[in-house]
A and B are shown apart, each in its own frame.
Chain A
Amino acid sequence: MAAKGTVVIDKERCKGCGVCIVACPKSVLALAKNVNGKGYNYSEAVVDECIGCASCAMVCPDGVITVYKAK
């Protein structure tokens, strides 16, 4: 089944806590190998499986995740 959602992560605000990675039911997210301006390994989508459930955005303490879902 084709993926229906996507996440846009504000990587400069992400603190790399990894709470979103645990929350994702489809294991879409992982910490990047690169770091952002503050030295955190930010969270990013690594597989094309997002269903747009917004679980990651719900638990993100810094509100850096924006979620889209195809209608």
Chain B
Amino acid sequence: MFNQDIVKPENLVYKRTEVLTDNVMHYCPGCGHGTTHRIIAEVIEEMGIQDKAICVAPVGCSVLAYNYFEVDSLGAAHGRAPALATAIQRLNPDKHTFTYQGDGDLAAIGTAETIHACNRGENIVIIFINNGIYGMTGGQMAPTTLVGMKTATTPYGRNVELNGYPLQITELLAQLPGTYLVTRQSVHTAAAVRKTKKAIRQAFENQKNKKGTSFVEVVSNCNSGWKMPATKANEWMVENMFAKYPIGDIKVDGELVQK
């Protein structure tokens, strides 16, 4: 340990936010879920909306998200988080309801709820973690799994003839008139984390101004599902996932910026 003499409150640059609880997260080492949880909590702290934020937890790895956010939370049935968030936000229009969903939850079983909530332009924030695999159940193929990617249920790689194509649900949702902000980010480097945080902040600001649905996709890793160490998984993600899921804004202020 170096420079112990500068460990003083006035020299503090960064510390864990108070909006996260003290529970140790159950996520695997290096998982993007932890980072995303942290930046959502930081945005809530910065905006001073801790007493107004309501988290809707999904089913999947992040099913226990309510253990980590120091805000009111509900657990939705599998894929139904946008439907539950619709009800919460309509009944409490001044609150900040956000859903936190993985790709198995949002893009598979919850496709109908997601598309219709976005099409109605519900005033909710949807955070979508895309790691191209079902992490919690043991690494099965998800709709977002890349072509050729090996999973527990596609041991020879995803075959288009048998399994179809990866679902770019974010691009799909950007076509709907109800969405106001649609963006795709990642959390593998410090710069990417800062950009994602900015996007999430913008999403909550849009909600405050009652603009409609804000949708933030976070392309993440799944080192257990992909069977590689965390840092290797991040490199693999940059090489492979970003080719199919390019990072950047897709719809800003209700206007498509990317076709």
A→B interface (CB under 8 Å):
3-6, 8, 13, 15-19, 21-23, 40, 44-45, 47-48, 50, 52-71
Contacts and interface: CB of A to CB of B under 8 A. Distances in A.
Nearest to B24: A13
A47 B3 CA distance: 11
The 5 closest A-B pairs by CB, nearest first: A61-B34, A17-B30, A15-B29, A17-B29, A55-B190
Contacts of A58: 14, 190, 193-194
A59 B188 CA distance: 7
Contacts of A5: 3, 6, 13
B20 A18 contact: no
B39 to A, nearest CB: 9
Nearest to B25: A62
A63 B38 contact: yes
Which of A17, A23, A61 neighbours the largest number of chain B CB atoms within 10 Å of its CB? A61
Contact of B14 (A3, A40, A57): A57
Interface stretch (B126-134, B167-175, B228-236): B228-236
B137 interface: no
B34 A63 contact: yes
5 contacts: A17-B31, A17-B230, A18-B229, A23-B189, A61-B31
Interface in B197-223: 223
A23 B186 CA distance: 14
A16 B29 contact: yes
A19 B188 CA distance: 8
A23 B4 CA distance: 22
B31 A50 contact: no
B162 interface: no
A62 B68 CA distance: 11
Contacts of B189: 23, 55, 59
Contacts of A55: 189-190
B16 A61 contact: no
A50 B4 CA distance: 12
B6 A59 contact: no
